[in-house]
Structure 1
Amino acid sequence: MIMIRRGDGQLRMRDHPDTSDGLGFDSRSSPGLCSSEVEAQLEVITPGLTASVPWLMAGQDTRPVPDAPAGQCASSRSAREMTRGQDVGLAVACAEEALEEAPCRHDPLCVWRALVTLVSAGELVTVDEQCARLVEDVEPGPFTRAQRRSMMLRARARVARHTGDLPGARRVLGELIESDVTQNVRLLGVSWLVDVLLEEGAIDEAVDLMERSGLETAAQQWLMCRPMLLSARAAVRLATGAADIGFQDFLQAERLFEGQRMSNRAMLLCPTQISLAAKAAHRDEFAARIAGQVLLRARGWGEPRVLGMALGTLATVEDGPDACAQLTEAAELLEVGGARSELITVNQELARRLAARDDVAGARWRIGQAMGIAKEIGAHGRVRDLRAEFGGLTESVQLTRQESRVASLARGGHSNEQIAGKLALSLRGVEFHLSNVYRKLGVQGRRGLRDALGEQVAVRRT
């Protein structure tokens, strides 16, 4: 069975021999893997950067063309490696070859495939530099300028989202949704914008967009972008407390994703949220099992952002003795991957666990990191949520000038007697100031002081 698109943009199932190359399309239906002409004639929407079979040859005319060459196009090889999710180095090498060498470098579809692969591999700087070529530096062939511009906007939107530029992602997606695109591409943009709004903490706005856009109804139809629509709807339901229903939506999206023979989690809108939804729905065993499988696949691909998300999710749902160490490693991976939005979530979860251990200084530092990132990327709803959950831990510690001097010397290894001599204080005065510092920072002694003073501490002008 294969899915083919009707004129109304919906999919229907049709019996067909399995001659696919692993990307979900029949290689016999094209006179060459590097040709965009047939795909445009079939009105393929190449949603890309999604779990929606980016390269699906879908349309009403699916008559096979015999003796088609296979495996000759660098962009096709890059896409194949991306969907398999096993060799990121080979996928990137093929994508770079497609961008640099003819005939791929002149073909909009080949450039698009290469960019999608590079997004999934975390090569976001290259994508940002190259995506304008889709409009300015390719041979248009059968693709209209509007179609090529929509590809460019989708690539830019994913770069902005992956790097935590939420205002930028919102702006680009708004432009995409309002432009001359097909129903599938518009709904795809809506699903991505819902995700951005949720990352900003704008839950009410995400709910309103889902209702106004028709996403709720469209998620019930056999559209090519249906896995993404289900994932977006599931994320909204999870954010609004409807964990059981959200989990069912995620499960359905996951089954569609697997049915499209794609193993790479980097292509999903919410690559790890099915485990979190299962945990929220009190299906702990399922949540841990899926989280472990997601982590295994993420390790196989090796892209830091998805790997960090997978490791952080496993630590959250398993809640084992190594959870703090796993979350710390996840934060480091997300830092490397430039995934600022996801870094807020991991720091928030780590702060919860450190606070439960009475490690107030460690929790305060993690919350400070999360707050700083949230403010930087414009996630104002997340800032409000952090303040509501952690209260005083989100505020800067206020030390007097004398407390700051005493703390700095103590952190540097000076004894109380040495501090007293340097600052012309009595020993009792040093002890008094240190006691205040420990209380304000939430630490027990000099060892905790060394960690706590790594955070931003305000000094009162007194």
Structure 2
Amino acid sequence: MTNNGPLDELGRTRFELVPGALTGRAEAVAIARQALTAEPLDDGTFWQAVLVLTYADELELAQQHWISATGVSRDVHDLLGGRIMLLRGDPRAAVRLLGRDVRPRLRVVAAAWLVLALIDAGELGRARAVLEAERAPDSAELHFARGRLLLAEEQSAAALDEFLECGRFLAGLNPAVLPWRSWAALAAADRGDLVLARICADKDLVAARRWGGPRGIGLALHASALARGGDDVLLEEAITFLGNSSEALRARHDLAQLLLARGEVERARRHARHLRSCPQWTQAADVLTSRLLRNDGESALSGQERRIALLARAGRSNREIAAELGLTLRTIEFHLTRVYRKMGVAGRPGLRRAFVPTA
């Protein structure tokens, strides 16, 4: 699916919906609402109009039209329903709808959306199986889904490659369609490349604010916060924009880690408790809860510990860190042991998955 979706060959729609969606949110919603009053309502018009409503974050309106639709093919109806359920924070319902049989021309989109739903449902193994079974040519949707799965599997370098490849398919498309830059920024920040993360995040934030959809703004703010080494104000703002979405939980997780590393235990606890609402974040919630329970008032990293942790997280060896900071190897080992204890992680692999504030 690119500008006009996989249903182009099913018939010309009466309105040029998606181009409108890429230039003005209010205008796009108005065009979509008008299109959905057509009788009879063909598959192509229904598909594009409902997608535009999802791009505009008009999810309640999209669901109302989905529920009341008549005369639309079952697979089109199922796919759009699954997409709406996923965006509204119900990945289990999304999996049920997206896992049904569809006509060949819809299989790539169905597979990509199913992978995203399975990730949010915490079923990474099933998501991997879906991608491995999909033999269709590469598409933006498949690259994006692979990137999301790789990031969930803690393979941030490979995830970044997939998001950047996704971007090569989209050529300036509104990030509301596929927010590949924001996710590329999250992956880049996860692997310590804050320069690339900031470039991607800032570009998406400008585009998202111009479009005006809260989900896109929130995701770009989250990416911007991490690209700046951890900005709790930006993260709080991101959470407000993201509402009850799965993306909000990721932002809450990162904010809770940041706050706990700073010793702000009560603020961290408030955000950590939200994570149990989504299966994908149950394990992360357990780790945070364990750290919160054993907090002894000394969980905040010292300046020296933070510097060492950031270098270790970026892949420097203990010997390289010692040389750069002018410390003995034994001192580095001592500080890293304290970092692991305070952050509740098991060595360097755990440190790579944890959030280390830069200040």
Equivalents in 2 of 1:334, 1:180: separation in Å? 31
1:185 equivalent to 2:106? Answer yes
Higher radius of gyration, 1 or 2: 1
Equivalents in 1 of 2:268, 2:66: separation in Å? 40
Counterpart in the other structure of 1:355: 260
Q: 1:360 to 1:209 in 2, by over 3 A?
A: same
Counterpart in the other structure of 1:280: 190
Equivalents in 2 of 1:271, 1:304: separation in Å? 16
**1:266 aligned counterpart, secondary structure:** coil
Q: How does 1:306-455 map to 2 (within 5 A)?
A: 306-319=216-229, 323-335=231-243, 338-339=244-245, 341-371=246-276, 373-374=277-278, 379=279, 381-393=280-292
Letter in 2 for 1:54: G
- Following TM superposition, the consecutive aligned residue runs of length 4 or more in structure 1 with deviations greater than 4 angstroms are 55-59
Does structure 2 conserve the Cα–Cα contact (< 8 Å) formed by 1:75 and 1:111? Answer: no
| More helix by percentage | 2
Equivalents in 2 of 1:180, 1:330: separation in Å? 35
Per-residue deviation, residues 269-317 of structure 1 (Å, max 9, x unmatched) = 7562111222234332111101100111111111111211111111122
Does structure 2 conserve the Cα–Cα contact (< 8 Å) formed by 1:132 and 1:152? Answer: no
Q: 1:53 to 1:283 in 2, by over 3 A?
A: farther
Number of equivalenced pairs: 293
* TM-score of the aligned structures, taking structure 1 as reference length: 0.58
Q: 1:327 to 1:272 in 2, by over 3 A?
A: same
Q: How does 1:219-298 map to 2 (within 5 A)?
A: 221=137, 226-258=139-171, 262-268=172-178, 272-298=182-208
Equivalents in 1 of 2:293, 2:175: separation in Å? 33
Counterpart in the other structure of 2:18: 79
Counterpart in the other structure of 2:91: 166
Q: CA deviation at 1:257?
A: 1.1
Equivalents in 2 of 1:187, 1:370: separation in Å? 30
Q: CA deviation at 1:253?
A: 0.9
Does structure 1 conserve the Cα–Cα contact (< 8 Å) formed by 2:3 and 2:19? Answer: no
Q: 1:319 to 1:209 in 2, by over 3 A?
A: same
Counterpart in the other structure of 1:156: 81
Equivalents in 1 of 2:121, 2:170: separation in Å? 26
Equivalents in 2 of 1:331, 1:394: separation in Å? 24
Letter in 2 for 1:324: D
Q: 1:300 to 1:346 in 2, by over 3 A?
A: same
Q: CA deviation at 1:206?
A: 2.1
Does structure 2 conserve the Cα–Cα contact (< 8 Å) formed by 1:207 and 1:236? Answer: yes
Counterpart in the other structure of 1:303: 213
Structure 2, unaligned runs of 5 or more: 295-359
**2:79 aligned counterpart, secondary structure:** helix
Segment of structure 1 superposing worse, 164-173 or 232-241: 232-241
* TM-score of the aligned structures, taking structure 2 as reference length: 0.74
State percent identity of aligned pairs. 26
Equivalents in 2 of 1:167, 1:57: separation in Å? 29
Equivalents in 1 of 2:250, 2:74: separation in Å? 33
Q: 1:392 to 1:75 in 2, by over 3 A?
A: same
Counterpart in the other structure of 1:198: 119
Letter in 2 for 1:81: G
Counterpart in the other structure of 2:332: none
Does structure 2 conserve the Cα–Cα contact (< 8 Å) formed by 1:367 and 1:394? Answer: no
Q: 1:229 to 1:359 in 2, by over 3 A?
A: same
Does structure 1 conserve the Cα–Cα contact (< 8 Å) formed by 2:6 and 2:106? Answer: no
Letter in 2 for 1:251: L
